[in-house]
Structure formats: structure tokens, C-alpha cells
Structure 1
């Protein structure tokens, strides 16, 4: 990994495939008209910061990307305001951040255009709270929707993992995870091939939301897999080079005992005491979206 750029993605050991079942609530708004989704957690001075999408349940274009702070990675306090706001035509969600060599932070995020697909944009910040749009179109495709980015610093340059959805029914294997490379970290070129192919029965609706870390001598990815619309789980894959990935199955599925029907959008966090947490979005049978966490067993 390069410099300070993303040391939280360089883990000494692999959290692996075994995670505890169920999960505890991390960020659940008392206002049921809100839905909190797409978390990403990064270490900051004195603790951790979570960026996440917060929108009105009846209007997904009303809201934006917010943040919360935690001293221990478990108990969270929402911070005031929005880090980035949506508009009537553009919804912002799925943030992924990286620290730059000059100390600034860069956030990549998905922009959903009302009725027109989606693309990946970037914003810049000096303190992690005040963000300014930096580049509106870091990565886009003429006939595909791109989103749920995960930025990973390399020894030389940066790799951006993202979902790539072509037009057509989801069961046709057109919703996959791909990657792009950038030397400077802002202008990306798509890399050939597909990183994770939508092919299994429990991926029939989509695969997306990759979360990638360097663990030991290999790379590990956790990603969202949806068997059908309104039903999601989290799977994992491993790679020696970050390009060719081997799937290793399901690591977290909905818990009927908790009334949860969707788990999705994983984000990993290594705590100082050695525990490893996965934050993720969850939807219960009543349609309420919240952010939960679960600990690894390895």
C-alpha cells in the first residue's frame, strides 16, 4: 500500500470466511421516514468516522451522504449536516474514501441520475467534514450504470473496484464487479475483464458493493449478492493479484430471528484490540433500513 493513503486496507491477518451470525444495530435512525445505507468506515484521530447515505424513504433524492463518529468503532454519534447533498435529479451514495499524500481526503461516490443510470464522481476535503466536488465524471460508460466504488491504493497508483450494470434483465449475467486503474488517483481507465461474475443462483439479481482489503499475502473481497429484488446477502472472494478472484461463498445472510431480509454493502474495520468488525446495511421485513455490525470469528 502506498504511504498514508489507505493503511486501513492493509491488514496483517485475513478475517476470512467465518463471521458471527446476526448483528447489532450501529446506526438506526429513530425517524422511520429515513433510511441509512451504504456505510464505509475509516480510522481518524481519536477514533473512527463512518460515511453513509441517508435519505427519505419516500424520496431517495432527498438527503445525501452524512457521517458519524465513534471512539471505539461500536457506538456511533451522528455528526451534524451533510457531507455531500443530493439534488432533485442526482442522488449521491456509496462513499469510499482515501487519504492522499498531501494529507487531504478524497471521496469516490456513486451518482444516480433520475431515470438516466449512474456514474462515479469524486470530492475532496481537508478535514473529512467539509467536502467539495472535485470531478463529476471519474468513471462512466455509455451503455452501463456504474457505482458502489471501492478505492484501493497500490504500491504504484490506485485501483477502483465498482459495479457495472449493462442494460437488460438482471438474470442475464449483466450485473458484475469490474475495476479501473489510475496512476494519479483521479483519472481512471477500465481494466480488461470482469473481477466478479454474476453467475450463481444467489447472485441472480446482482453482485455489487465490493469491499477490498490486503490481508497477509493476498487480497480479500467482501461483496453484496442479491438472489432477487428485496433479498440480499454478503459473500467473499480471494485473489493473489487483485484481478483474478476465486469465490469462497456466503459469509453473512439475513437472520430470520431479527426480522432482517437484506444484508448488503459491507465495510470492514480492524479495532485496536484485535477484533474485526463488518458494518453493513440491513433492511427488515417492515422495510426499515439501518446500519448494523457483526464481528469475525477468526
Structure 2
């Protein structure tokens, strides 16, 4: 048994750690996007970085890679054709929106193609309060692939991006990143993204499309919860699924102490959302491990990706972060799995608990 296998067994929920030295993801892994494919294999696309990736970009993004599994629990990395085994990386054109760093936030399968919905930033600096941040003006993009391994970018109208950053005074003037996409039964598309407003916190926006290529913003659809809730500082990454006769949004919320949990909101039209109180910390449905426990996910659980199982239960893949780090690069990001209590997607436990 390898040291990493033993560590996985001892840490409930943990299923994928950073890669070995020399790989593109040897420092951090984040944002699992999982599909159960027609060939019986499970595929996970995720982003991360190595210790030599641009340290001025204080984000967990960098490049993207692929892992494959027979059961959705035990994963093996696939060495891709790009830098250090990645399958997707920043564009070589410095004038594009995604020239400095990229991150995958959704993968869908439509019309015989994998669609990779990603976000990226360039090398410009943005002043946010007292912080001068590189690569923060992120925008969404899209790429397609026949095999999930070799990707072709689809060119959007905003230096390659699908959407522009908001104008001065708009809620998304800082960035519009981390896209998640839903294709409705009528063939139209919805793209959910989030941003950070200096006063209002993390906010979720919506864009709509008739073809998945040309998008129009529809405004903010979700924001911070009330004081003492797990999402009092705002709502970030999310996964929206049509379940029954409604949309269900599994979303990452953050409190004023910087701890992250996952909650649920529901909607009948995908535009007007109502948060649902859960039984975990602060009204969440899945909380970080106890503070001070030393667990790998004691500070944050987020970037939920929810996959239905044949027996009616659900798997939720997520990123966990430990306590002790002072920013995105000093906390350790790893990937975990939670399992629903039967068919109830409002009750979760970590794999292995």
C-alpha cells in the first residue's frame, strides 16, 4: 500500500490529492467536474497547479487535467498532451482573456462532444481595496472535444471570452468566472457564474443563450444570506441540476470568518431562487470538518459537483481546504467525495465515514 493510499483511507472523504513531482498538479487540485460516461468509465476534469506556476496569481487555478475511474471513488490520472501532463492550459496569445491562467468549472456532453466550460484571466493587475491582484478579471470560455483529452476553443466575442466583465457600477465589474451551464428541455441554455463585489460579497449572475455560443446577461440571481448563516459573506461556486419539476442549486457559501460550507437553493424557472435551510452548520447541508480537528477539509468545502446514481442516491464531489493557510496558495486544496443519505440530496456524509 502506498503512502498516499494510506492517507486517503485515514481521511474521510478524501479521494484525490496533488500529483507527484513533475506533474502539472503537484501542488494543488481543485474543482472536480465529473461525468459518468457511456463507456462505463467515470471521468473527472479538474484544475490545479505546480509550485512553479505564476506565484503572483493568488488563485488555485493554473492548468486543467483529467482522471479516470471505474467506480467513481478510486481515480487514476491521465497524462495529457500538454505541459507536464495537463489537458488544457492558458492560451499562448498574451492578448486573450485566458493567457495567464485557466480553470475548468463544468463539463457537459451534447451532440457527441464534450463541452468544457472554463474561465481564465490575463496578466493584468486589478486594485481591490488595498490588494493589487493579478489575473483577477476572469471571464468564461468554452472548448469542445471528441475524446475529453484534446480540446478546441470556441472563440467568443470578448477577446475569446463568452461574456464581458461588467461595466463600472455593475455587480460583476470585478470578474465573471466559474461558469456552470444547464441546457433546458426546450434547447435553450442557462449559464450561472459568480463574482465578488467589494461591499456586497460574493454574488451569482445568470446569462442565457439560444445556441450555447451567443450569450446575454440576465443579472444577479443570488447573494449573501443573513447574519450568522454559513453564506453571510456570499455565494460562490455552484452546480445547478434539473431535478423533478424544479431546478436545484448546490452552492458554496462563505461566512465572515472565511469558512466555507455547501447549501441548497431551489427554483421553478432557474431565475428566482429560494434558499433551503439544511441541518448542518449555519443552515448548510454539508459543512467543513470541525475547526481545530486537523482534518484535510476543516476550513472549506466547495465547488460541488453532484452526480445521480442508478439507485436514486447522489454523489457529491467537492474541494476541501485545510486550516492554517493565509491565502489560496498556502492552504492545501484536495478533492473529496460525499454520499447522500438515500435519495435525500439534503443529507450528506463523507465517503468512508
Fold match (TM-score > 0.5): yes
Distance apart, 1:129 and its partner CA = 0.9
- Structure 1: distance between partners of 2:192 and 2:253: 15
Match of 2:3 in 1: none
Aligned position for 2:28? 35
The answer to whether 1:138 aligns with 2:162 is yes
Task: Describe the superposition over 1:238-263 as per-residue Cα deviations: whole angstroms up to 9, x where unpaired.
Answer: 11111111101301111124252111
Name the counterpart of 1:7: none
**Quick check: 1:23–1:294 contact (8 Å CA) kept in 2?**
no
> Does 1:159 find its partner at 2:190?
yes
Q: CA RMSD in A?
A: 2.3
Task: Quote the Cα distance in structure 2 between the aligned partners of 1:288 and 1:223.
Answer: 21
Counterpart of 2:120?
A: 111
Q: CA deviation at 1:207?
A: 1.3
- Runs of 5+ unmatched residues, structure 2: 1-10, 80-84, 127-136, 168-172, 278-283, 325-330, 345-353
Partner of 1:263: 301
**Structure 1 residue 164, shift from structure 2 partner:** 2.8
Shift of 1:273: 4.0
Paired residues of 2:104 and 2:116 also in contact (CA < 8 A): no
Distance 1:292 1:244, change over 3 A: same
- Would the aligned equivalents of 2:299 and 2:321 in 1 still touch at CA under 8 Å? yes
Distance between the aligned counterparts of 1:290 and 1:95, measured in 2? 15
Q: Distance in 1 between matches of 2:310 and 2:87?
A: 27
Taking the aligned partners of 1:251 and 1:85, their CA distance within structure 2 comes to 33
**Cα distance in 1, alignment partners of residues 52 and 254 from structure 2:** 22
Q: What displacement does 1:69 show?
A: 0.8
Is 1:241 the counterpart of 2:275 in the alignment? no
Between 252-261 and 130-139, report the one with greater CA deviation: 252-261
Computing the radius of gyration over CA atoms, which structure comes out larger, 1 or 2? 2
Distance, in Å, in 1 between the alignment partners of 2:253 and 2:108 is 25
Structure 1 segments of 4+ aligned residues over 6 angstroms from their partners: none
How far apart, in 2, do the equivalents of 1:55 and 1:281 lie? 14
Match of 1:3 in 2: none
Q: Deviations over 1:37-90 (max 9, x none)?
A: 011111212221111002125646684011111111111111112221136952
- Give me the whole-angstrom Cα distance separating, in 2, the residues matched to 1:269 and 1:23: 19
> What TM-score do you get using the length of structure 1 for normalisation?
0.83
- Counterpart of 1:73 in structure 2 is 72
Hey, what does 2:13 align to over in structure 1? Answer: 24
Cα distance in 2 for partners of 1:113, 1:56 equals: 18
Residue 231 of structure 1 pairs with residue 269 of structure 2? no
Is the aligned partner of 1:90 residue 2:82?
A: no
Count of matched residue positions in the alignment of Structure 1 and Structure 2: 271
Q: CA offsets per residue over residues 69-122 of structure 1, 9 Å max, x none?
A: 111111111111222113695211133122232x12221111133425110011
Helix, strand or coil: the match of 2:194?
Answer: strand
Output the TM-score relative to the length of structure 2: 0.71
Measure, in 1, the Cα distance between the counterparts of 2:115 and 2:72: 21
The superposition leaves residues 219-239 of structure 1 with CA deviations (integer Å, 9 ceiling, x where unpaired) of 100111111474211111011
Cα offsets for 1:255-285 (capped at 9, x unmatched): 1242521111100112234431100000112
- SS of the residue 1:137 aligns to: coil
- Give SS of 2:175's match: strand
Does the CA-based 8 Å contact 2:223-2:234 persist in structure 1? no
